[in-house]
Amino acid sequence: MDMKRFGTVCRKTLPLVAIPFLFTYQSQARKRPNIIHIMSDDHSFQAISAYGHPLSEQAPTPNIDRLADEGMRFDRAYVENSLSTPSRACLMTGLYSHQNGQRRLGKGIDTSRTFVSELLQRDGYVTGVVGKWHMKCEPKGFDDYHILKGQGEYYNPRFKTPQTRGAYVEEEGYATELITRHAVDFIQKRDTTKPFCLFVHHKAPHRSWIPEMKYLELFAETDFPVPETFYDDYSTRGRAAHEQRMHIGEDMLMVYDLKVHEHSSMLDEKDKWQCEVNDQSLSELDETGRQAWLDAFSRQNKAYLEGEVPADSLAEWKYQRYVRDYLSCIRSVDDSVGDILKVLEEEGILDETVIVYTSDQGFYMGEHGWFDKRFMYEESFRTPLVIRYPQLIAPGSVSETLVQNLDFAPTYLDLAGVKVPEYMEGRSMKPVMKKGGAEPKKWRKYLYYHFYDNGGEHNVSKHDGVSDKRYKLIHFYGKGGTYDELYDLEKDPDELVNVIENPEYADVRSRLSKALTRFRKRLQVDEF
């Protein structure tokens, strides 16, 4: 029934004592959820214990797990371009990289595109973003922001706000803790007459994985399991996998990545930047803090410094040092989630708030011997995603539906009761939530991915591709040459066997090739 007409009828026919009830009913009907989007940088699903990966068994994430236990865990969540800035542009616009202009790191975002924050703000939401912005444009559609300068520093980072008039001002503390503090301030000081949407974007656990001071040696004595694919020789893959520069054993840096500061004097002139970066981090600490930092890592690097690490074991030693620091950063992020949950409970708005935890893409935790991301292979392409919202989601739900970071913008608009623009490529995940994770009718059967960077620091070749729930076709066209790879994820979840030339997969290859062509044509992809 039309509510306006209903109200008119009631005013004419109901006694005055019934009118307050009517107003209460109407206000409840109009009530819209708050939305909190928590996104870390480079947080792999392998490092969230709710996903049951062996790595996380020794480094649990109880607060993120709580979101999964009380909400929905998505096991088929992916990105459209596994790089930080393109991922953020996709989040804000609901568009692919070539559509919003942000194909690579640095400049590119088409600021004429409307951001989801603008649409929510126009429709009555109080909006805010704290932490990593990492786009070459000013935040749009936000009532308040507190953003890091570029990538941001771990210790005493610089932030810009509307009040600093374009300047970045140093704040004392650890990045994760400060971002959390600003998020809590936003929640506590908000206009309580309006719903809010808050983006909480953590720097951690981005390279070079510098832990909070209290967690410097959290996992110093822990030996984490080495992935079964750690010594992958890429025998069935094309040139891109062989020519990458993201191998833990060969490419991970002793000073910058692993904090072996004793090696600083041994670096060539071209590598002195490693010292400069670490010195900058240490310069933000007082004398006591600097000494504690140096002592902690000297202890952790002792075996290597004393020559007790054989050459054929160096890669695994590097792996342990990397993972220990990475997971120590995650501990602070998990603490942050707990702090935000606590303040929502104190404010009495926990159950009326949609809480999303995700990452800007996946990350390699030693699989295939790698760190970093960029490739369309699963560890990079797939991202963690858990959502808590008891008004729609049953506790402990799990979804195998194919979702992508394109879907965040239309989902938040749909939950807020705001019309989703037809131009957005993503789809609202609200029907997935309502169906207990099951795939809605007429849902996507394929995902499209495109990486444009071509070389760079990690020398990953350009490629695009499509994936369904079982098969993945990747087309490489950059520096590594032009060729295709095909994987059967059911039989080969680790993507060790490229079956592109296997005649048994001829029909699969043909079907995915046609799907890829359709994506390129419909989306008007201008390079592949």
User: Is residue 26 pLDDT above 50, yes or no?
Assistant: no
Do the Cβ atoms of 485 and 499 come closer than 8 Å?
A: no
Digit-coded pLDDT (tens) for 245-261: 999 999 999 999 999 99
Domain covering 36-210+320-436 in this structure, CATH number: 3.40.720.10
User: Is residue 337 pLDDT above 90, yes or no?
Assistant: yes
User: Is residue 89 pLDDT above 90, yes or no?
Assistant: yes
What integer pLDDT is reported at residue 280 of this predicted model? 86
Digit-coded pLDDT (tens) for 440-468: 999 999 999 999 999 889 999 999 999 99
Digit-coded pLDDT (tens) for 392-403: 999 999 999 999
d(CA 239, CA 258): 28
- Two tokens, residue 409: 């913008």
Digit-coded pLDDT (tens) for 38-73: 999 999 999 999 999 999 889 999 999 999 999 999
Give ranges for CATH 3.40.720.10 in the chain.
Answer: 36-210+320-436
pLDDT band at 30 (very low <50, low <70, confident <90, very high): low
Average pLDDT over residues 214-237: 98
User: Is residue 10 pLDDT above 80, yes or no?
Assistant: no
Digit-coded pLDDT (tens) for 369-388: 999 999 999 999 999 999 99
Phi, psi of 62 (to 5 degrees): -60, -35
- Two tokens, residue 419: 């019309």
d(CA 89, CA 202): 16
Do the Cβ atoms of 413 and 75 come closer than 8 Å?
A: no
d(CA 70, CA 64): 10
Do the Cβ atoms of 94 and 116 come closer than 8 Å?
A: yes
Distance, C-alpha 447 to centroid of its chain:
17
- Two tokens, residue 154: 């771990």
DSSP, collapsed to helix, strand or coil, labels residue 519 as helix
CA angle 394, 400, 403 (to 5 degrees): 95
User: Is residue 167 pLDDT above 80, yes or no?
Assistant: yes
Average pLDDT over residues 496-511: 98
For residue 476, which of 136, 118, 237, 211 has the smallest C-alpha distance? 237
Give ranges for CATH 3.30.1120.10 in the chain.
Answer: 449-523
Compute and round to an integer the Cα radius of gyration of the chain.
24
d(CA 243, CA 231): 15
Distance, C-alpha 7 to centroid of its chain:
45
What integer pLDDT is reported at residue 54 of this predicted model? 93
* pTM confidence score: 0.94
d(CA 380, CA 383): 7
For residue 184, which of 335, 393, 359, 33 has the smallest C-alpha distance? 335
Average pLDDT over residues 124-128: 98
**Cis ω on the peptide bond leading into residue 211 (within 30° of 0)?**
no
d(CA 365, CA 492): 18
Distances (CA, A) of 523 to 95, 403, 418: 10, 18, 25
The single-letter code of the amino acid at 75 is D
Q: Is the dihedral of CA 77, 81, 87, 89 positive or negative?
A: negative
pLDDT band at 23 (very low <50, low <70, confident <90, very high): very low
- Two tokens, residue 303: 């075996």
The fraction of the chain above a pLDDT of 90, given in percent, is 89
What integer pLDDT is reported at residue 281 of this predicted model? 86
Average pLDDT over residues 272-286: 89
For residue 357, which of 388, 398, 327 has the smallest C-alpha distance? 388
Mark residue 472 as left, alpha or beta (left: phi above 0; alpha: psi -120 to 50; beta: remaining): beta
- The chain-wide mean pLDDT, for the chain, equals 94
Domain covering 449-523 in this structure, CATH number: 3.30.1120.10
- Following CA atoms 255, 261, 263, 269 in sequence, which dihedral angle do they give, to the nearest 10 degrees? 60
Average pLDDT over residues 223-233: 98
Average pLDDT over residues 471-484: 94
What integer pLDDT is reported at residue 234 of this predicted model? 98
User: Is residue 20 pLDDT above 90, yes or no?
Assistant: no
User: Is residue 12 pLDDT above 50, yes or no?
Assistant: no
User: Is residue 139 pLDDT above 60, yes or no?
Assistant: yes
The single-letter code of the amino acid at 213 is M
d(CA 386, CA 358): 7
The single-letter code of the amino acid at 229 is T
User: Is residue 423 pLDDT above 90, yes or no?
Assistant: yes
Digit-coded pLDDT (tens) for 91-117: 999 999 999 999 999 999 999 999 999
pLDDT band at 31 (very low <50, low <70, confident <90, very high): confident
The fraction of the chain above a pLDDT of 70, given in percent, is 94
Instruction: Render 226-279 in DSSP notation, one character per residue.
Output: PPTTTT---TTS-HHHHH-S-BHHHHS-TTTTT--GGGGGG--GGGTHHHHHHH
